[in-house]
Amino acid sequence: MKKQSLTGHKFSFNLLLGLTCFGLGYLIATKFLLAMTISPTIINLTRNDEERWVSFYNHQQKEIVKVFVREQSKIPISQMPTILQKAFVRRKDPDFYSKNRRLTDLPELFVTEVKAFLKLTTLNYYDRGISGTLAHNLFLIRKKTLPRRLDEAVLAYKIERKYRKEEILESYLNNIYFGEGTFGVEAASNYYFGKKALKLQPHEIATLICLGTDTLSPHIYKKEQLLNDPTSIKKYRDQVLDEMAKENVITPKQAAEYKGKPLGLKTY
């Protein structure tokens, strides 16, 4: 009798587990299919937002960050120094030009979604790459639910299918947040150095890399605190210059020379 009772409990548990997994799979699969059917016309990297404030929300749909858009001057990639382009790509996404996203990459993300839902894992920081970051910032960040990897991966895949790499990089560099309400390399160059991005020197580009925040979240305040600590900014800038030399963006001799340059920030 006891054995029969245990068998019944085991059957009930397996049935419940199976139904739960089926329901979860159905929800995520539905979500995936909805993302896959997004019209290409919606994925527009050249849109111009007129909002002066950008709000961000947590899991409880409560506003946690509100950023005033002080300046965002979008420019074509031809007006961005080649060194700036190379430095950002090398630092943020070294495989940007050599690899393309594939639908076959999504099953692993699907499993991650399931594990996160069951609280078997935590979705911490991960390397989104340039296309994923763009998808996050343009299409997901203003939702009242935190974006998930599957959403970003599908949108990034669609972005790469619709746009050339140069167009994606251009939009990425025009939408990075650099603190103090400045979005994009042109706005940051004007605000911090009083010049156009095209005239930036390598040490100034390295400084912007230090100040740049790929994805907007409450953690942006940690980056903005750097503005009150020029010593730390210079330390990080010099590290970036060393990385630029290691990646052959500049020479080691140039890196040593630029380390001796003052920060030259016009605004703190």
Residue whose C-alpha is closest to residue 90's, from 235, 200, 257, 240:
240
Residue 54, strand partner residues: 67
The continuous run of DSSP H or E covering 184 comes out as none
User: Which amino acid is located at 131 in the chain?
Assistant: S
Amino acid at 260: G
Contact between 153 and 132 (Cβ < 8 Å): yes
Domain positions in the chain are 12-259
| Mean pLDDT value across residues 231-236 | 92
Which pair of structure tokens corresponds to residue 159? Answer: 């972005």
Q: In 10 A of CB 242, how many CB atoms?
A: 16
Max mean pLDDT among 65-74, 154-163, 213-222, 235-244 falls in 235-244
- pLDDT for the residue 161: 87
CATH homologous superfamily for the domain 12-259: Biosynthetic peptidoglycan transglycosylase-like (1.10.3810.10)
- State the pTM of this model: 0.76
**pLDDT on residue 2:** 46
Q: 179-203, pLDDT tens digit by residue? A: 888 889 999 999 999 999 999 999 9
Q: What pLDDT, on the 0 to 100 scale, is given for residue 182?
A: 86
Q: What is the pLDDT of residues 52-97, one digit of tens each?
A: 566 665 555 566 666 666 777 889 999 999 999 999 999 989 999 9
